Amino acid sequence: MTTLDKPAPAATAPTPATRRDRPIRRDLGVANVFSHGFLLIWGLLTVLPLLWMFISSFKTNGEILADPWGLPGALHWDNWARAWTGAHIGRYFLNSLLVVAGSVSLTMLMGATAAYVFARYEFRGRQFVYYLFVGGLMFPVFLALVPLFFVVRNAGLFGTWTGLILVYAAYSLPFTVFFLTAFFRTLPTSVAEAAMVDGCGHFRLFFRVMLPMARPGLISVAIFNFLTHWNQFLLPQVLMQGDESKWVLAQGLFALSVSQGYAGDYARLFAGLSIAVLPVLAVYVVFQRQVQSGLTAGQLK
């Protein structure tokens, strides 16, 4: 019988999973249960203190001391009013909005322009200057507090919003340049080349073409900078001493907490803390999708 006359081998049915595959699947299931359980515990540790703080802001001082884990008998909105006016939280809140708006705007303007140049233009020393920017990520804020104090004071900006805005922007530039440089590199060059052929200049190309295309990344970095500047305590505590009317929210809340003493108004303190947390929660809820799309846009393109 020749090789052509040999019958074709019968098709074999797919073999079931071997015993070696079963332990792997079992291990993956155990790992998923462990990871989900860890995330659940982490979420509870994050949410429960915030929830307890909000509930306590509607209680009286007697209810907080007598039953700290119970629900309030009635919603005492006067705690929020006393915190907003009596503890000057409203003034500190507006000061923080002004400082953060100025610092985030300045950071995004300088960071976006620098990142665009690093990502799109070739010039001598580009990598060296880029690494100088990124190198700022390695230095924590508290290591430069003493020289920063003297620099700001000698510049005549000590105790001013302008000095605080400039310091916030300087410390946010390394992360902003690092993130946006990688994002600008993912944008298609064909659009920029077509705009240049149509007579678009460099400045117009950047502001009218490239910035709208980089909107997801810009929104993500702006939100991260907003959260960082809003929650900043160490820098204003060092650079904004003196005039209490110029304090930001973190300083006002710290002064309110340490001035309580033995006869503390805990209901007003919890209300002030809740007022400070509300903008952060609002930003996260409103821009949650933009943050996720900005973080993944560089990988999807």
Element (H, E) at 81: helix 78-81
Length of the chain: 301
Q: Six-digit token pair at 197?
A: 């052929």
* pLDDT level of residue 4 (50, 70, 90 thresholds): very low
More confident residue, 290 or 33: 33
Q: Six-digit token pair at 28?
A: 């993956």
CA distance linking residue 154 with residue 216, whole number of Å: 39
Digit-coded pLDDT (tens) for 38-50: 888 988 888 898 8
Closest CA to 103 of 241, 247, 228, 246: 228
CA distance linking residue 297 with residue 182, whole number of Å: 11
Q: Six-digit token pair at 102?
A: 């100025």
Q: Six-digit token pair at 183?
A: 């994002």
* pLDDT level of residue 261 (50, 70, 90 thresholds): low
With 70 as the cut, is the pLDDT of residue 100 above it?
A: yes
Q: What are phi and psi of 198, to 5 degrees?
A: -75, 5
Element (H, E) at 273: helix 266-286
CA distance linking residue 127 with residue 276, whole number of Å: 40
Q: Where are the domains of the chain?
A: 21-56, 79-300
Q: What is the mean pLDDT of residues 55-62?
A: 90
Determine contact, residues 53/257, Cβ cutoff 8 Å: no
Q: If you write DSSP's letter for every residue of 41-55 in order, what string do you get?
A: HHHHHHHHHHHHHHH
Determine contact, residues 100/226, Cβ cutoff 8 Å: yes
The architecture that CATH gives domain 79-300 is Orthogonal Bundle (1.10)
CA atoms within 13 A on the CB side of 181: 21
CA distance linking residue 2 with residue 5, whole number of Å: 5
Work out the number of other CB atoms within 10 angstroms of the CB of residue 267. Answer: 24
* Percent of the chain scoring above 70 in pLDDT: 84
Q: Six-digit token pair at 165?
A: 């805005």
Residue 11 Cα distances to 4, 14, 16, 19, angstroms: 18, 9, 15, 23
Q: Six-digit token pair at 267?
A: 């209901």
CA distance linking residue 78 with residue 268, whole number of Å: 9
11's CB contacts (< 8 A; 6+ apart) are none
Return the axis-axis angle of helices 215-230 and 288-300, rounded to nearest 10°.
130
With 50 as the cut, is the pLDDT of residue 300 above it?
A: no
Integer Rg of the chain from CA: 28
Q: What is the mean pLDDT of residues 131-148?
A: 86
Work out the number of other CB atoms within 10 angstroms of the CB of residue 121. Answer: 9
Place of tokens 């930003």: 283
Least confident piece of the model among 103-112, 154-163, 287-296: 287-296
